[in-house]
C-alpha cells in the first residue's frame, strides 16, 4: 500500500513558481521577493501573502525563461516549505497545508528531504558516528577510525582534475596517506604558462589548457550542469563542497550554474590548501610514466619530474592503491596500460567543429527585443545561450541517402556564452579547440561545439582497429586541422554558409581565437558522411534559431575531445580495474564521466569505494 505521510512534517516542494522579469528584485538569488511570496500564497491558497513568514521558505532553483513561445520573460522558481516552521510562525497556515495535495511536477511532499552538507562535513559526521559507535570516543579525542589498520594505507591519486581532487579529498578525510601526482603545474604557474601560449605561442607540453591543477576544466566556462540529476545527494555534496571552497552559493540554486575561470582559480587554491592541511602530499610537475604491477596487483608508480623543461630521472614509488584520474588527453597513459595488457574498450564519442557568433546575435535570436537588457552580463537577464540537437533520419537525406549519415545525432556541446575559443592541443603537431569564459561572460562572442556521434564503424572505415582506434581517429583530424591552419597554432576556419555550400573564399568575420585563424575548406576535413551530418543539422538548427546561419557565423576546426574514446573496465562496486588489482580508473579519461560535475561525482564515489576496500570506510556508497 502507499506510504502514509504526515502532511505537517518534512518539506513541501513547490515547482514552477513564475515571477515576471520586471518584478524580480534581481539582487539576491536566495531572496524570497514579494512577487515570489505572492506565487507561494497562490499555490498554498493562502489569502494574504504578506502574512506568510519568509523564513519558512527557501529557493532551491531559479532559472530564466525567455523562450519565444512564452509570452512574457520570467524567472521560474522551485521553493521548499519547511512545514513545521511555517505552522509555528503562522499557525493559520495549518488548515491550508492540510488541504495541500501532491501534484506531479507542481507540488511534492518530501517526508525526509534529501539534504546533505558538503563532502567534508559528510565524511566528518560519518567518522564521528563510526568512532562513537565502536568505542564510545568522539573523533575529537583523536582516536580515528583508521586505528584498525596497522599503518595508514598509502594511495597515489594520479591526476589533479575534478575526479582526482574529489577522490583525494574523500580518502584524505577518511585518514589515508594520499599523494596527489599531477603532471601539470599549480594554477598560479599554469596561468602564466597559458598566458605564454596565448601571447607568445609557447605550448608547454605538461602545463596547458588540458594539463595542470584543476584538470581540463580550469580554464573553461566552468559550467556545472550535469545530466546525472541536479538533486541527487551526490551532486549536491559536490556543489556544496565547491561552495565550501569559495564558489558563490548561487550555484546551488541557479538553473544553469557556471563558475568561469576567474572563480575556479581561487577555488582550486583553497582546495589545495585544505588537502595539504589534511597531510596530502601534492607533487606538481610530476608525470606518471608507468604503473608498477606485480602478480596482477598495482604496487606503485614510476614517475618523472620536470624542472626547467628538463625531465629528471625516473623514480619508483610504492603505494597500496593507485587511483588513475588522468583525463582523456593523457594518450600516453592509454598506451602504457595497453602495454600491461589492461583491457581497454573503444567507446563512441563525438567530433565536429566549433561555431562562433557575435553574442549580441545570439541574444537577439533568443530574446528578441529583450536582448538590449542583457548589458553584457551585468543586468538581470543572463547572457543568452542555446542548446540544439538533431537526430538525422533516413528521410532527412532525400536524394543523397547514405547509410553512414543516417541515424546519427548531431548536437551543440559545451556552449560558452560571452566566451572565447581556446587551444586545447597537448602536442604542437595536433590542433584541437574548445571554449572558455570568465564568470561575467562579458566577451563579444558566443561559441559552441557542433558535433556528430562517431562509433567503431567510423574508425574502421578509416582502417583504425583495436582498443586505441578512437584515439587514432581523433589524432587524424587533429593533425589534418593543424596542417590546414598551416602550423603555429593557427586555427582553420570557414564561414557556416561556405561550409554548407562547399565553397571557399567568403570574407571572414572576426574570431575570438587569439592565435590567429586561416580560411580553409573545413568541408574537406572530415569524411563526407560526417560533413553531411553536420551540414544537414546546421540547416535544421537555423530553423530552430533563425539567423544561426549568417555571414558572421564562423566554424573553427577541430573539436575532437568531447569525451573519452575509451573505457577502462572496472568492477561496478569496488571501482577496481577488472585487469589489475589495486588500480582504480576514474573520471572522464576512464570513460565514466563527461564534464566537471560528473567527473567530481565519480571521483568522490571512487574515493569511498577505495576506502572501503582498505577498511577506512564501512558505510554505504
Ligand atoms: P581532467 O580534468 O582531464 O584531469 C586529468 C588530470 O590528470 C590533468 O590535470 C592532467 O594534467 C593529469 N594527468 C594526466 N596524465 C597524467 C600523468 N601521466 N601523470 C600525472 N598527471 C596526469 N566541463 C564542464 O562540465 N563544463 C564546462 O564548462 C567545461 N568546459 C571545458 C572547457 C575546456 C577548455 C576543456 C578542455 C574542458 C571543459 N570541460 C567542461 C570538460 C571538463 O573539463 C572535463 O570533463 C573534466 O575536467 C574531466 O575531469 P577529470 O578529472 O576526469 O579529468
Grid cell 597500496 — which residue? 320
Band of pLDDT at residue 4, cut at 50, 70 and 90: low
Q: Residue 94, exposed/middle/buried by CB under 10 A (0-12, 13-18, 19+)?
A: middle
pLDDT, average across residues 545-563? 95
Q: Is the CB of 160 under 6 A from ligand 1?
A: yes
129-172: per-residue pLDDT in tens?
A: 876 655 433 333 333 334 344 689 999 999 999 999 999 999 99
Q: Is the CB of 153 under 6 A from ligand 1?
A: no
Backbone conformation region of residue 609, classed left if phi is above 0, alpha if psi is from -120 to 50, else beta: alpha
Least confident of 17-31, 214-228, 442-456, 565-579: 17-31
With a CB cutoff of 8 Å and minimum separation 6, the contacts of 326 are 158, 159, 288, 333, 587, 589
Phi/psi of residue 573, nearest 5 degrees: -100, -45
Percentage above 70 pLDDT, the chain = 92
Counting atoms of ligand 1 from 1, which one is nearest the CA of 211? 11
What spacing in Å lies between the alpha carbon of 470 and ligand 1's midpoint? 18
Q: Do residues 106 and 77 lie in contact, with contact meaning Cβ atoms separated by under 8 Å?
A: no
What pLDDT is stored for residue 139 in this prediction? 35
152 HSE (CA, 13 A, CB side)? 15
What pLDDT is stored for residue 376 in this prediction? 58
Band of pLDDT at residue 374, cut at 50, 70 and 90: confident
Q: Is the CB of 596 under 6 A from ligand 1?
A: yes
What pLDDT is stored for residue 409 in this prediction? 92
Q: Using CA atoms, how far apart are residues 445 and 385, in angstroms rounded to an integer?
A: 11
What spacing in Å lies between the alpha carbon of 480 and ligand 1's midpoint? 24
Band of pLDDT at residue 222, cut at 50, 70 and 90: confident
- For the chain, what is the largest distance between any 2 Cα atoms, rounded to a whole number of angstroms? 78
Q: Do residues 588 and 350 lie in contact, with contact meaning Cβ atoms separated by under 8 Å?
A: no
The closest residue, in CA terms, to atom 39 on ligand 1 is 217
State the chain's mean pLDDT as an integer: 90
Band of pLDDT at residue 116, cut at 50, 70 and 90: confident
Q: Using CA atoms, how far apart are residues 593 and 587, in angstroms rounded to an integer?
A: 5
The closest residue, in CA terms, to atom 43 on ligand 1 is 217
What spacing in Å lies between the alpha carbon of 575 and ligand 1's midpoint? 20
Q: Using CA atoms, how far apart are residues 470 and 409, in angstroms rounded to an integer?
A: 18
The SS3 assignment for 157 reads strand
What pLDDT is stored for residue 319 in this prediction? 97
The SS3 assignment for 415 reads strand
Structural domains for the chain? 11-110 (3.30.70.2700), 119-345+566-613 (3.50.50.60), 348-559 (no CATH)
What pLDDT is stored for residue 404 in this prediction? 78
Q: Do residues 74 and 67 lie in contact, with contact meaning Cβ atoms separated by under 8 Å?
A: no
Angle at 485 between CA 481 and CA 491, to 5 degrees: 80
257-271: per-residue pLDDT in tens?
A: 999 899 999 999 999
DSSP 435: E
What pLDDT is stored for residue 149 in this prediction? 47
The SS3 assignment for 595 reads coil
Query: How many other C-beta atoms lie within 10 A of the C-beta of residue 140?
Result: 8
Counting atoms of ligand 1 from 1, which one is nearest the CA of 602? 52
63-76: per-residue pLDDT in tens?
A: 998 876 667 889 99
What spacing in Å lies between the alpha carbon of 352 and ligand 1's midpoint? 19
What spacing in Å lies between the alpha carbon of 566 and ligand 1's midpoint? 15
Q: Using CA atoms, how far apart are residues 496 and 133, in angstroms rounded to an integer?
A: 65
What spacing in Å lies between the alpha carbon of 217 and ligand 1's midpoint? 5
Q: Do residues 418 and 443 lie in contact, with contact meaning Cβ atoms separated by under 8 Å?
A: yes
The closest residue, in CA terms, to atom 2 on ligand 1 is 215
What pLDDT is stored for residue 227 in this prediction? 80
pLDDT, average across residues 25-29? 72
With a CB cutoff of 8 Å and minimum separation 6, the contacts of 511 are 356, 421, 445, 491, 493, 517, 554, 556
Counting atoms of ligand 1 from 1, which one is nearest the CA of 159? 7
381-429: per-residue pLDDT in tens?
A: 889 999 999 998 877 766 666 777 778 899 999 999 999 999 999 999 9
Q: For residue 4, how far is the Cα from the chain centroid?
A: 39
What are the grid coordinates assigned to 241, written together?
A: 563542497
Q: Using CA atoms, how far apart are residues 150 and 142, in angstroms rounded to an integer?
A: 16
What pLDDT is stored for residue 327 in this prediction? 97
Query: How many other C-beta atoms lie within 10 A of the C-beta of residue 188?
Result: 11
The SS3 assignment for 455 reads coil
Q: Is the CB of 287 under 6 A from ligand 1?
A: yes
Q: Using CA atoms, how far apart are residues 175 and 287, in angstroms rounded to an integer?
A: 25
How far the first Cα of the chain sits from its last, in Å, is 28
pLDDT, average across residues 236-246? 96
What spacing in Å lies between the alpha carbon of 568 and ligand 1's midpoint? 17
Q: Using CA atoms, how far apart are residues 68 and 45, in angstroms rounded to an integer?
A: 30
Q: Using CA atoms, how far apart are residues 590 and 195, in angstroms rounded to an integer?
A: 29
Band of pLDDT at residue 527, cut at 50, 70 and 90: very high
Q: Using CA atoms, how far apart are residues 73 and 60, in angstroms rounded to an integer?
A: 20
Q: Sheet containing 297-307: which strands, arranged edge to edge? A: 286-294, 297-307, 310-318
Amino acid at each position: 500500500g502507499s506510504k502514509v505521510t504526515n502532511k505537517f512534517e518534512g518539506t513541501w516542494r513547490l515547482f514552477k513558481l513564475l515571477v515576471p522579469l520586471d518584478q524580480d528584485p534581481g539582487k539576491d538569488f536566495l531572496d524570497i521577493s514579494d512577487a515570489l511570496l505572492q506565487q507561494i500564497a497562490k499555490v498554498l491558497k493562502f489569502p494574504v501573502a504578506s502574512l506568510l513568514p519568509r523564513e519558512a521558505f527557501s529557493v532551491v532553483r531559479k532559472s530564466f525563461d525567455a523562450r519565444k513561445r512564452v509570452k512574457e520573460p520570467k524567472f521560474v522558481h522551485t521553493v521548499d516549505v519547511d512545514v513545521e516552521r511555517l505552522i509555528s510562525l503562522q499557525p493559520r497556515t495549518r488548515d491550508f497545508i492540510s488541504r495541500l495535495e501532491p501534484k506531479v511536477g507542481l507540488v511534492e511532499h518530501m517526508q525526509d528531504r534529501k539534504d546533505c552538507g558538503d563532502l567534508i562535513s559528510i565524511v566528518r559526521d560519518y567518522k564521528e558516528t563510526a568512532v562513537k559507535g565502536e568505542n564510545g570516543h568522539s573523533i575529537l579525542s583523536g582516536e580515528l577510525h583508521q586505528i584498525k589498520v596497522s599503518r595508514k594505507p598509502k594511495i597515489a591519486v594520479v591526476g589533479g582534475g575534478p575526479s582526482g581532487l574529489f577522490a583525494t579529498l574523500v580518502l584524505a578525510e577518511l585518514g589515508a596517506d594520499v599523494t596527489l601526482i599531477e603532471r601539470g603545474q599549480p594554477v598560479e604557474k599554469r596561468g602564466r604558462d597559458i598566458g605564454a601560449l596565448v601571447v607568445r605561442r609557447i605550448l608547454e607540453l605538461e602545463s596547458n589548457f588540458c594539463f595542470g591543477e584543476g584538470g581540463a576544466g580550469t580554464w573553461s566556462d566552468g559550467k556545472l550542469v550535469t545530466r546525472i540529476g541536479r538533486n541527487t545527494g551526490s551532486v549536491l555534496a559536490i556543489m556544496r563542497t565547491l561552495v565550501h571552497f569559495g564558489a558563490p552559493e548561487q550555484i546551488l540554486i541557479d538553473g544553469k550554474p557556471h563558475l568561469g575561470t576567474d572563480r575556479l582559480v581561487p577555488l582550486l587554491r583553497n582546495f589545495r590548501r585544505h588537502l595539504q592541511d589534511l597531510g596530502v602530499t601534492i607533487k606538481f610537475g610530476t608525470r606518471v610514466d608507468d604503473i608498477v604491477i606485480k602478480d596482477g596487483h598495482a604496487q606503485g608508480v614510476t614517475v618523472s619530474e620536470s624542472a626547467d623543461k628538463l625531465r629528471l630521472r625516473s623514480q619508483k614509488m610504492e603505494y597500496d592503491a593507485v587511483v588513475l584520474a588522468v583525463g582523456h588527453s593523457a594518450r600516453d597513459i592509454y598506451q602504457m596500460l595497453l602495454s600491461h595488457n589492461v583491457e581497454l574498450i573503444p567507446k563512441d564519442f563525438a567530433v565536429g567543429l566549433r561555431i562562433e557568433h557575435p553574442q549580441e546575435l545570439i541574444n537577439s535570436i533568443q530574446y528578441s527585443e529583450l536582448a538590449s537588457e542583457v548589458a553584457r552580463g551585468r543586468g538581470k537577464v543572463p547572457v543568452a545561450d542555446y542548446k540544439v540537437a538533431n537526430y538525422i533520419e533516413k528521410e532527412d537525406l532525400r536524394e543523397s541517402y547514405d547509410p553512414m549519415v543516417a541515424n546519427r545525432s548531431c548536437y551543440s556541446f559545451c556552449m560558452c556564452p560571452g566566451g572565447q575559443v581556446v587551444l586545447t592541443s597537448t602536442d604542437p603537431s595536433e590542433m584541437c579547440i574548445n571554449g572558455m569564459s570568465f564568470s561575467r561572460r562579458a566577451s563579444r562572442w558566443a561559441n559552441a561545439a557542433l558535433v556528430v556521434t562517431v562509433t567503431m564503424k567510423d574508425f574502421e572505415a578509416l582502417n583504425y582497429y583495436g582498443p586505441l582506434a578512437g584515439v587514432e581517429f581523433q589524432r587524424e583530424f587533429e593533425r589534418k586541422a593543424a596542417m590546414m591552419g598551416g602550423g603555429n597554432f593557427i586555427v582553420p576556419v570557414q564561414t557556416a554558409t561556405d561550409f554548407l555550400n562547399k565553397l571557399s573564399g567568403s570574407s571572414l568575420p572576426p574570431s575570438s581565437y587569439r592565435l590567429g585563424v586561416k580560411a580553409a575548406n573545413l568541408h574537406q576535413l572530415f569524411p563526407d558522411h560526417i560533413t553531411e551530418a553536420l551540414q544537414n543539422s546546421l540547416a535544421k538548427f537555423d530553423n530552430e534559431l533563425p539567423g544561426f546561419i549568417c555571414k558572421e557565423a564562423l566554424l573553427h576546426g577541430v573539436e575532437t575531445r568531447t569525451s573519452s574514446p575509451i573505457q577502462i573496465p572496472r568492477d561496478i562496486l569496488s571501482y577496481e580495474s577488472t585487469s589489475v588489482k589495486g588500480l582504480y580508473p576514474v573520471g572522464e579519461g576512464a570513460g565514466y564521466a563527461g564534464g566537471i560535475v560528473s567527473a567530481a561525482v565519480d571521483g568522490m564515489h571512487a574515493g569511498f569505494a577505495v576506502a572501503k576496500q582498505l577498511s577506512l570506510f564501512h558505510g554505504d556508497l
